[in-house]
Amino acid sequence: MAGLLTIKDIEKCVGCGLCMYACARRKVRKPFIGHDHSGILAVSLSGFERGATIIVCKACPDPPCSQVCPTSALIPRKGGGVVYREKLCTGCDNCIEACTIGAIFKRRDGKVALCIHCGYCASYCPHGVIEYISTKQKVSEKQEVIK
Amino acid sequence: MNSGFADRKYILNIDLSSYSYSVEERDDLSEQIGGTGLAVELMKENLKPSADPLSEENVIVFAIGPFTPAYPLASKTVAMFKSPLTGNLGESHAGGRSATSIANAGYDAIVIRGRSEKPVYIVVDNERVHFRDARVLWGIEDSLITGRIIAEREKGRGIRSIMRIGGAGERLVRFAGVMTETYRHFGRLGLGAVFGSKKLKAIVIIGRGSREPLDAKKYREVYDEIFRIATTSDAMKKYHLIGTPVNVAPLNELRALPTRNLESGFFEMTEEISGEAFAENNLARRIACNHCPTACIHIAALKEVYEDEPYFFKTIMISYDYELIYSLGSMLGVGERDGILKLIHRVETYGLDAMSTGVVLSWATEALKKRVITEKDTIIPLDFGDYKGYLKAIDYIYLQPNEFYRNLALGVEKAAEIYGGEEYALSFGGNEMAGYHTGEAAYIGYLIGLRHSHLDNAGYSIDQKLRERLPPEELIDLLVKEEIWRQILSSLVVCFFARGVYTPEVVSKAFEPFGVEISEEELIKRGERIYREKLKLKTNLGYRADKLRIPEKIFNIESFRGKLNKNYISEALSYYRRKYLSI
């Protein structure tokens, strides 16, 4: 079962960015140092006096980023979010424009970086801000709320 | 760009006199490691020893280390410059996003020279540098507001650092600092005044970048090991919870908390201003430097009522630490938490160094009592415990409305030279003291530490750990040994709070994924070399370790081991001169 990266308690975010660096390291054979290949951005809320947060894909069931992709580099993923087929990406940036929460980032090589919900970052969050759950779990929790 | 590893270093050179810049690729600086080691070398190359610290001849170096942003806790930047406070080498460290932004922008160091004709701020955006008009920003005395304005105007949210000065830097207060990401500071030794003298209001560094390790598998393994030690062992615990103010109560119990300009080492209102009291009553949030899991930055919320307007409040967020509670609390006899927070906020606003400000004001208070100066000088009465008076006095340090405050803005060493009261002017090597009256090791440490900082060699910690006084020779060797190891930590540049994580073994291992083999012995050797080079640079700039002034007052009060022994200190210093100054 595919999993989803979800926010557990955003108010606990200290802005350390460990998730951001973890994302860049996620590939076993090709980990990157730095954040250019990271699909998460840690920011302050207009200055650290107002706290911090992360910007990351929320796994839309009907993702606008994939609808505006001319080469089908972004295709909807079962359970929410998208699959990124990097080879097909022309770097047109349509997806960056389309994402309302700004969770797709321009890489320096022209391509994009975004969360693919692999969950690698979750175990590096020192303060329990994010967690990785199964897609099923998300659906059942939602139903719980609706009941 | 930045290899981050031993072989190549990328240096960004910025000239404010000609509004030009260039990038240098160097393959001859690997011995220096990075950070402090690299900065010492770049200072030697670029600074004329006779340079006036506030002239265009002064040079500012920002240097980061090879572990940024590869590993957690490597979150700090070293700034080096000629200090306008001491007239000698200035070195100050800060975290925030400064280090990771420089690393991700592709540089190992940034060197700034010259002086702008009119106020500017610099934007480093990866390989480009922009010089922006700052005439409108000049005169905005509040460093927080300056930061907000620049944040609105410039891009790079989340991947940038905004280093800026407040009014104190513009007005050349010799102990003005540079603020970064609101709550982190290149606080000590007057970098803010150097910025001010160069008409440099701020530097924004925007960095987006990536690089690859040589050994992918090993890199992830070593990362995980460091992460595990940092988050699950006790190595960082002290900084997680109550934060550095956890030291307030135990140091007071030891009679080591400098109080009322060192009238005593015991502050009777400690219960009110302990780390525990701040955590329980004021702590509102914790934040972290970039790529650090610890989140040691403790932020208090201070809710203030407008007395003349019912139901109208403001809430300000103020970062507090041990050194601030000492310097603006016990040292000034202020035992109200709200009062301390207001003083911290005022210091942050103008961009002053908190320790120097506290010590300068505590000296002025004693000098006023002893009639060395008069109320005509101070304009307002200064009394230990009266924080409202001190708030006003901080305004005056910034505004410098008369000759006295102009002299006070030169630091306590100079002020006491002019007015007298040197025996209770508590600076060492020209730098106002840190908050540890723990014993001889602390003071010897301030004197011989190459930054005159308690963090150079942690003398205060040796005092507390040892039951008996060591023979003076052994103490000196121990202090120097610690300082040598810390040259490695500050060349890497990892946070000193992470010294329990980055042991020689871990450091050596952390280099491996980058194809760099460096044994623990070799590390120590490089540390010794950096220490020697820094001492040599200091000596070239006029440092005379045999002419250090020791304020008589430290001998008058009890420490937990009784009164400090003058002979012991002079024996230790004479051994230091014989052994280390001749190399």
Which chain A positions have a beta carbon within 8 Å of B291's beta carbon?
Answer: 16-18, 21
The band of A145, judged by pLDDT with boundaries at 50, 70 and 90, is: very low
Which of A9, A49, A125 to probe the B interface (max B CBs under 10 A)? A49
Q: Do A48 and B217 touch (CB under 8 A)?
A: no
Is B225 among the domain residues? no
Pick the more confident residue, A143 or B203.
B203
Query: In this predicted structure, what is the pLDDT of residue B7?
Result: 76
Q: Which domain, by its residues, includes A109?
A: 3-61+100-146
Is B219 among the domain residues? no
Q: Which residues contact B129 (CB under 8 A, 6 or more apart)?
A: B12, B14, B21, B122, B123
Q: What is the DSSP letter of B470?
A: P
Closest residue in chain A to residue B102, using alpha carbons only: A34
> Are the C-beta atoms of residues B475 and B441 closer than 8 Å to each other?
yes
DSSP string, A36-82: TT-S-EEEESSSGGG-EEEE-----SS-HHHHT-TT--EEE-TTSSE
**Bond preceding residue B493 cis, omega within 30 of 0:** yes
Is B216 among the domain residues? no
Residues of chain B above pLDDT 90, percent: 93
Mean pLDDT of B84-109: 98
B160 and B306 fall within a common domain:
no
Angle between the B566-580 and B440-448 helix axes, to the nearest 10 degrees?
40
Residues of chain A above pLDDT 70, percent: 93
Task: For residue B240, give how far its alpha carbon lies from the nearest alpha carbon of chain A (Å).
Answer: 11
Which chain B positions have a beta carbon within 8 Å of A51's beta carbon?
Answer: 285, 287
List, as own/partner pairs, every contact residues A10-14 make where C-beta atoms lie below 8 angstroms and the sequence separation is at least 24, other chains included.
Answer: A10/A53, A10/A54, A10/A129, A11/A51, A12/A127, A12/A128, A12/A129, A13/A42, A13/A51, A13/A52, A13/A53, A13/A54, A13/A127, A13/A129, A14/A52, A14/A127, A14/B286, A14/B287, A14/B288, A14/B295
Please give the single-letter amino acid code of residue A137: Q
Contact A42/B at CB under 8 A: yes
Q: Residue B186's beta-bridge partner residues? A: B178
Scanning A61-100 for CB atoms below 8 A from B yields none
Contact A39/B at CB under 8 A: no
Residue B482 pLDDT greater than 80, yes or no = yes
B372 and B508 fall within a common domain:
no
Is A127 among the domain residues? yes
Please give the single-letter amino acid code of residue B104: N
Q: What CATH number does residue B450 fall under? A: 1.10.599.10
Which chain A positions have a beta carbon within 8 Å of B220's beta carbon?
Answer: 25, 28, 31
Q: What is the DSSP letter of B469?
A: P
Residue B3 pLDDT greater than 80, yes or no = no
Q: Do A41 and B292 touch (CB under 8 A)?
A: no
Contact A15/B at CB under 8 A: yes
Mean pLDDT of B465-471: 90
Q: What is the DSSP letter of B264?
A: B
B413 and B441 fall within a common domain:
no
Query: In this predicted structure, what is the pLDDT of residue A131?
Result: 96
> Are the C-beta atoms of residues B200 and A12 closer than 8 Å to each other?
no
Query: Of A109, A127, A120, nearest to A53 (Cα)?
Result: A127
Tens of pLDDT, residues B327-341: 999 999 999 999 999
Please give the single-letter amino acid code of residue B354: A
Tens of pLDDT, residues B217-252: 999 999 999 999 999 988 777 777 899 999 999 999
B178 and B266 fall within a common domain:
no
Please state the φ and ψ torsions of residue B25, each to the nearest 5 degrees.
-105, 120
Is A92 among the domain residues? no
Is A81 among the domain residues? no
Is B4 among the domain residues? no
Please state the φ and ψ torsions of residue B490, each to the nearest 5 degrees.
-85, -5
For β-strands B109-113 and B9-15, DSSP reports them as parallel
Closest in B69, B211, B217 to A21, CB measured: B69
Residue B191 pLDDT greater than 70, yes or no = yes
Tens of pLDDT, residues B449-462: 999 999 999 999 99
- Determine whether A76 is exposed, middle or buried from the number of CB atoms within 10 Å of its CB (0-12, 13-18, 19+): middle
Continuous segment of H or E residues that includes residue B502: none
The band of A146, judged by pLDDT with boundaries at 50, 70 and 90, is: very low
Residues of chain B above pLDDT 70, percent: 99
Tens of pLDDT, residues B400-439: 999 999 999 999 999 999 999 999 999 999 999 999 999 9
B159 and B262 fall within a common domain:
no
B322 and B436 fall within a common domain:
no
Choosing from B386, B421, B456, the residue where a domain stops is B421
Q: Which residue has the tokens 């897609």?
A: A135
Beta strands, E only, B126-235: 128-133, 160-164, 178-180, 184-186, 200-206, 210-211
Is B214 among the domain residues? no
Residues of chain A above pLDDT 90, percent: 86
Query: In this predicted structure, what is the pLDDT of residue A72?
Result: 98
Query: In this predicted structure, what is the pLDDT of residue B458?
Result: 96
Q: Do A14 and B295 touch (CB under 8 A)?
A: yes
Mean pLDDT of A2-14: 94
Contact A23/B at CB under 8 A: no
Q: Encoding tokens for residue B249?
A: 């109560």
Cα separations (Å) of A59 from A1, A18, B223? 15, 21, 28
Burial A46-55 (b: 16+ CB within 10 A, else e): ebbbebbbbb
Choosing from B421, B440, B458, the residue where a domain stops is B421
Pick the more confident residue, A49 or B41.
B41
Query: In this predicted structure, what is the pLDDT of residue B310?
Result: 86
> What distance lies between CA B72 and its chain's CA centroid?
20
Which chain B positions have a beta carbon within 8 Å of A14's beta carbon?
Answer: 286-288, 295
Is B522 among the domain residues? yes
What is the C-alpha separation between B327 and B360, in angstroms, rounded?
Answer: 10
Is B213 among the domain residues? no
User: Given its phi and psi angles, is residue B184 left (phi above 0), alpha (psi -120 to 50 degrees) or beta?
Assistant: beta
Residue B81 pLDDT greater than 90, yes or no = yes
Choosing from B392, B421, B450, the residue where a domain stops is B421
Which of B181, B208, B344, B501 to probe the A interface (max A CBs under 10 A)? B208
B91 and B191 fall within a common domain:
yes
Query: In this predicted structure, what is the pLDDT of residue B235?
Result: 74
Counted domains in chain A: 1
Cα separations (Å) of B367 from B174, B263, B337? 20, 13, 26
Is A26 among the domain residues? yes
DSSP helix, strand, coil percent of chain A (3-state; round to 5): 30, 20, 50
Q: At B77, is the secondary structure helix, strand, or coil? A: strand
Contact A103/B at CB under 8 A: no
Q: What is the DSSP letter of B300?
A: E
Cα separations (Å) of B119 from B111, B190, B303? 18, 19, 35
The band of A142, judged by pLDDT with boundaries at 50, 70 and 90, is: low
What is the C-alpha separation between B414 and B539, in angstroms, rounded?
Answer: 20
Continuous segment of H or E residues that includes residue B386: none
Pick the more confident residue, B299 or B3.
B299
Mean pLDDT of B480-508: 96
Cα separations (Å) of B230 from A19, A48, B233, B234? 15, 23, 6, 8
> What distance lies between CA B438 and its chain's CA centroid?
21
B389 and B275 fall within a common domain:
yes
Is A40 among the domain residues? yes
B409 and B339 fall within a common domain:
yes
B334 and B273 fall within a common domain:
yes
Q: What is the DSSP letter of A12?
A: G
Counted domains in chain B: 3
Is A86 among the domain residues? no
Is B116 among the domain residues? yes
Q: Which domain, by its residues, includes B364?
A: 236-421
Closest in B159, B216, B297 to A29, CB measured: B216
The band of A147, judged by pLDDT with boundaries at 50, 70 and 90, is: very low
Q: Do A49 and B181 touch (CB under 8 A)?
A: no
Q: What CATH number does residue B253 fall under? A: 1.10.569.10
B177 and B82 fall within a common domain:
yes
> What's the full length of chain B, in residues?
583
B174 and B25 fall within a common domain:
yes
Q: Do A51 and B285 touch (CB under 8 A)?
A: yes
List, as own/partner pairs, every contact residues A138-141 make where C-beta atoms lie below 8 angstroms and the sequence separation is at least 24, other chains included.
Answer: A138/A4, A138/A6, A138/A79, A138/A80
Contact A145/B at CB under 8 A: no
Query: In this predicted structure, what is the pLDDT of residue B240?
Result: 78
Q: What CATH number does residue B69 fall under? A: 3.60.9.10
Tens of pLDDT, residues B61-76: 999 999 999 999 999 9
Residue B303 pLDDT greater than 50, yes or no = yes
Tens of pLDDT, residues A65-108: 999 999 999 999 999 999 999 999 999 999 999 999 999 999 99
Average pLDDT, chain B: 96
Is A93 among the domain residues? no
Which chain B positions have a beta carbon within 8 Å of A44's beta carbon?
Answer: 158, 181, 287
Closest residue in chain A to residue B145, using alpha carbons only: A47
Cα separations (Å) of A56 from A14, A126, B410, B503, B517? 15, 17, 48, 35, 38
Task: For residue A143, give how far its alpha carbon lies from the nearest alpha carbon of chain B (Å).
Answer: 33
Is A37 among the domain residues? yes
| Other residues' Cβ atoms within 10 Å of the Cβ of residue B468 | 6
Tens of pLDDT, residues B111-138: 999 999 999 999 999 999 999 999 999 9
Using alpha carbons only, what angle is made at residue B35 by residues A35 and B517, rounded to the nearest 5 degrees?
80
Between the two ends of chain B, the Cα-to-Cα distance in Å is 37
Continuous segment of H or E residues that includes residue B119: none
Burial B187-200 (b: 16+ CB within 10 A, else e): bbbbbbbbbbbbbb
Query: In this predicted structure, what is the pLDDT of residue B234?
Result: 81
Average pLDDT, chain A: 93
